[in-house]
Structure 1
Amino acid sequence: MPTDRLILRRPDDWHVHLRDGAMLKAVLPFTARQFGRAIVMPNLKPPVVTAADARAYRERILAALPDGFAFTPLMTAYLTDTTDADDIARGAAEGVFAAVKLYPANATTNSAHGVTDLCKVEGVLERMAGIGLPLLIHGEVTDQSVDVFDREAVFIDTVLAPLLERHPTLRVVLEHVTTEEAVTFVRSQAASGRLGATITAHHLLINRSHLFQGGIRPHLYCLPIAKREKHRRALVEAAISGEGPFFLGTDTAPHTVIAKETACGCAGCFTAANALELYALAFEKAGALDKLEAFASLNGPRFYRLPVAEEKVVLERTPGPVPDIILLPEGDGVLPFKSGETLPWRFAGGV
């Protein structure tokens, strides 16, 4: 008999984009409604580089939080060629920074200030390894001669593996993994306990062919881009395995409809509107609803050395629609992933 009700410890989102200003106010309630904590990405304009930047951004997030929500934003520093290791260490000691984010320069949205050469940040990485502060990596090479569908696999071989060898105690999260090669590599490091991987809901549900079904689908375009079906299956198998290195990170990335539906559209899928329902859909398709709690609620806190949530939340088998659009005050809006479709699960709140 299929279950009609799922009770989970309240999950956390270990990779979220909240933006700022009006966009922050529009999208934050969706994340805060379902998740107790979230690792907040620092790629604003200008980016969140220093501890002072992160404190100010955290205050803006908390000010935008609707009344009655118990939500903790976990702040990250945007790593640049000139990042101050002392500032990062102070920010970590004072509870400001939960991690540092590495964007290879120009790899994705708002990454122009990212690292151009890892040699320039070796001192920062050594300091982070010494204090146990995790490095979160957008794992793609930016060499334009490398096919966009191969950039994650090439990054693992040419950048990540050597990085881990140079810094044997550095704790790393390979963000939004999309390939069979990434799953295999993360598993190869499992015994060390220092390499984790987030998996998004959209990468569990779509492959690269979905981007072109009936025409170009700009709202399915994200970076790293969705890959072949064999890679999607590898991600599903990893997510439902219950293995500790794999945990939930939506990489929900809101962009306006105008910014997506244009000659050079922005990369990112907005999944926050129905995040847990989407993960439940993927796990149910794989016949593994009983493994959702480990992936969504247990593995992430353990990697980040944080307590597992005591509060429980409920998902009910009650079909419900995904919102057509999230309107913004200036008149544009954000189109949720699977906009206008009906999902078989509904988030019913705490219990």
Structure 2
Amino acid sequence: MNQSLLIRRPDDWHLHLRDGAMLNAICGYSAHFGRAIIMPNLVPPVVTGEQARSYRSRILAALQKHVTLRPLMTLYLTETTDPADVVQAHRDGVIAAVKLYPAGATTNSASGVRDFNKVRPVFEAMAEAGIPLCVHGEVTDPDIDIFDREAVFIDRVLDPIRRKTPGLRVIMEHITTSDGADYVRSQDNLGATITTHHLVINRNHILVGGIKPHYYCLPVAKRESHRIALRQAATSGDPRFFLGTDSAPHPDHAKESACGCAGCFTAPNTMSILAHVFEEDGALDRLEKFASLNGAAFYGLPANDDTIRLVRRDTPATYPAKVPAGDDEVTVFDPGFPLYWHVEDNA
């Protein structure tokens, strides 16, 4: 017997759409979302309000008939970012947030911040104007183990920033540890996104039986106890936790190389995977909070008026294994289990 679940249209509070041929190839796979926070780590990065405006125009042109998705732009924070430009871009409705990448933390982050004192005027201007800061929460010190970098970032970087600028609203993006979840629960003016793939995989999926490049992401998946902590946070209904897929397409030749790129392309099947996870954890009644309500509330936006329907059928939903992108292909994230929840768009 089919089981049906009607929820407000979900939002994706952390999404990579890339540019050019890749943008045109993959943007439609996020069309079932109402809004998405778009990452600015292009090459070169999106660092000014005018560049964000131009990038938004390219995204809207690529979306074409996929009118449901509304891109919410971000600026890439650098040590030379002009606070006045940030405030004006937000006031004009061009950007919804600013993104902090510690230099070298992830894909295309070389232009990120090394000296956090140099960006303090930007933080102060953002706090006064009510502009959220999206944070990639890892230190990049080579002496810190990659599995400890989120916890160390909280102690060394994030907590001092928030103490010095207490009015700043911060989103810890793609948390991967119980440390991150516990810190978010203990604070005010702090939210966190959780990705689809971090609810499904742990570090064994990447390493056991040979290296699995399409499960490699940054922040890297941690041990099983952390995955369980993330699922508890996501399914709890706590308004501080919400969906940010961090769906990050890379050409297969870049993933399957001697130095493979970090990122999982989860946009096509995210809602089917989430329904599976929440059903497993007896929390289907809280899926709407995580995917559709909590993030909007944290950003001070209304929930979407329209809905999608998730239907559990006896036969699995089918998704492409690969998506053509110009001369390249992108592998779609494989959760490792059949997806019986089908997405029906009610727009």
Q: TM-score, normalised by structure 1?
A: 0.96
Paired residue secondary structure (1:126): helix
Deviation digits for residues 139-173 of structure 1 (CA, Å, limit 9, x no counterpart): 00000100000000000111111111000100000
Asked if the contact 1:321–1:341 (Cα under 8 Å) also holds between the matched residues in 2, the reply is no
Question: Quick one: structure 1 residues 165 and 68, their matched pair in 2 at CA, closer, same or farther if it must change by over 3 Å?
Answer: closer
Asked if the contact 1:40–1:74 (Cα under 8 Å) also holds between the matched residues in 2, the reply is yes
Asked if the contact 1:134–1:173 (Cα under 8 Å) also holds between the matched residues in 2, the reply is yes
RMSD in angstroms over aligned alpha carbons?
A: 1.3
Asked if the contact 2:200–2:335 (Cα under 8 Å) also holds between the matched residues in 1, the reply is no
2:55 maps to: 57
Q: Which amino acid aligns with 1:329?
A: G
Aligned-pair distance for 1:268? 0.3
Asked if the contact 1:178–1:232 (Cα under 8 Å) also holds between the matched residues in 2, the reply is yes
Aligned-pair distance for 1:68? 4.9
Residue 344 (structure 1) aligned with residue 340 (structure 2):
yes
CA distance in 2 between counterparts of 1:328 and 1:297 reads 29
Deviation digits for residues 272-325 of structure 1 (CA, Å, limit 9, x no counterpart): 011111111111121111110000111000000001111010111131123110
2:243 maps to: 248
1:18 maps to: 17
CA distance in 2 between counterparts of 1:56 and 1:335 reads 28
CA distance in 2 between counterparts of 1:27 and 1:8 reads 24
CA distance in 2 between counterparts of 1:285 and 1:117 reads 44
CA distance in 1 between counterparts of 2:335 and 2:249 reads 13
Paired residue secondary structure (1:272): coil
Paired residue secondary structure (1:273): coil
2:322 maps to: 325
CA distance in 2 between counterparts of 1:60 and 1:44 reads 13
1:183 maps to: 181
Residue 165 (structure 1) aligned with residue 160 (structure 2):
no
Aligned-pair distance for 1:239? 0.4
CA distance in 2 between counterparts of 1:343 and 1:257 reads 23
Aligned ranges for residues 98-117 of structure 1 at < 5 Å? 98-117=96-115
CA distance in 1 between counterparts of 2:336 and 2:106 reads 27
Given candidates 34, 40, 43, the residue that maps to 2:41 is 43
Paired residue secondary structure (2:27): helix
Q: Percent identity?
A: 57
CA distance in 2 between counterparts of 1:340 and 1:196 reads 29
Asked if the contact 1:10–1:297 (Cα under 8 Å) also holds between the matched residues in 2, the reply is yes
Aligned ranges for residues 67-146 of structure 1 at < 5 Å? 67-146=65-144
Aligned residue pair count: 345
Gap runs ≥5 in structure 2: none
CA distance in 2 between counterparts of 1:288 and 1:213 reads 30
Asked if the contact 1:323–1:339 (Cα under 8 Å) also holds between the matched residues in 2, the reply is no
Aligned-pair distance for 1:213? 3.2
Aligned-pair distance for 1:212? 1.9
CA distance in 1 between counterparts of 2:51 and 2:229 reads 38
Paired residue secondary structure (1:113): coil
CA distance in 1 between counterparts of 2:66 and 2:239 reads 32
CA distance in 2 between counterparts of 1:327 and 1:95 reads 33
Residue 285 (structure 1) aligned with residue 283 (structure 2):
no
CA distance in 1 between counterparts of 2:335 and 2:305 reads 32
Aligned ranges for residues 176-255 of structure 1 at < 5 Å? 176-189=174-187, 192=188, 194-255=189-250
CA distance in 2 between counterparts of 1:68 and 1:230 reads 39
CA distance in 1 between counterparts of 2:300 and 2:10 reads 15
62-71 or 176-185, larger mean C-alpha shift: 62-71
Question: Quick one: structure 1 residues 139 and 217, their matched pair in 2 at CA, closer, same or farther if it must change by over 3 Å?
Answer: same
Q: TM-score, normalised by structure 2?
A: 0.97
Given candidates 252, 255, 258, the residue that maps to 1:260 is 255
